[in-house]
Amino acid sequence: MKHPVHFVDPVKKITEQEDKMPTREIAGATVDVNEEGYFTNPDQWTEAMAAVLAQEEEIGELTDGHRKVINFLRQDYKEKGVMPSIRRVKNAGGIPTKELYDLFPGGPLKKSSKIAGLPKPASCV
């Protein structure tokens, strides 16, 4: 006799979660974020929001060095459609790894992409 198997459709579950996408108020606008606070729509980002996010990520005041990273990340994401790896930031972006870690200590790529209004980096490198 076959036991009826209770099958939970994983795709349906994820879609249901996406329908209830959280939002947040920042710098006078409402933006869509995922459950970790990363922007789901990078076009909603503004420079003013970066300043707020930088404070939240304990980076403090953004300098030109920070902005160079943020600009590269945004530009590269727009071109490639995927988040660059730290290696790409070093080679294509011209930002040495040591500098990146000094600018955004404690999880540089995660922090800089959050501040830049981009998705969470998915690379293992």
Partner 1 sequence: MSEGKIKKVSIVCSKGSLEGVYPALIMANGARMEGIEASIFFTFFGLYAILKEYQDKIKIATVGNPAMRVPDAKGMALPTWMGGIPGMSAFATKMMMKEMEALDIPPIGEFIEMIHDAGGKIYACKATVDMFHLSLDDFCPQMEKVLTVGEFYELSAGAEIIFT
Q: Which residues are catalytic?
A: 124
Q: Is the dihedral of CA 82, 25, 107, 100 positive or negative?
A: positive
Alpha helices in 30-120 (DSSP H): 47-56, 64-80, 86-91, 97-103, 108-115
Q: Which of 74/101 has CB closer to partner 1?
A: 101
Q: Which of 41/97 has CB closer to partner 1?
A: 97
CA-closest candidate to residue 116, choices 82, 84, 71: 71
Q: Taking CB under 8 A as the rule, does residue 125 contact partner 1?
A: yes
- Which one of 110, 114, 119, 120 is in contact with partner 1 (CB under 8 A)? 110
Q: Which of 74/90 has CB closer to partner 1?
A: 90
- Which one of 78, 106, 118, 122 is in contact with partner 1 (CB under 8 A)? 106
Q: Tell me the C-alpha distance between 75 and 11, whole Å.
A: 31
- Which one of 27, 68, 86, 120 is in contact with partner 1 (CB under 8 A)? 86
Q: Which residues contact 101 (CB under 8 A, 6 or more apart)?
A: 108
The pair of three-digit structure tokens given for residue 40, joined into one six-digit string: 């789901």
Q: Taking CB under 8 A as the rule, does residue 1 contact partner 1?
A: no
Enumerate binding residues for partner 1 (CB under 8 A). Answer: 85-88, 90, 96-98, 101, 105-110, 123-125
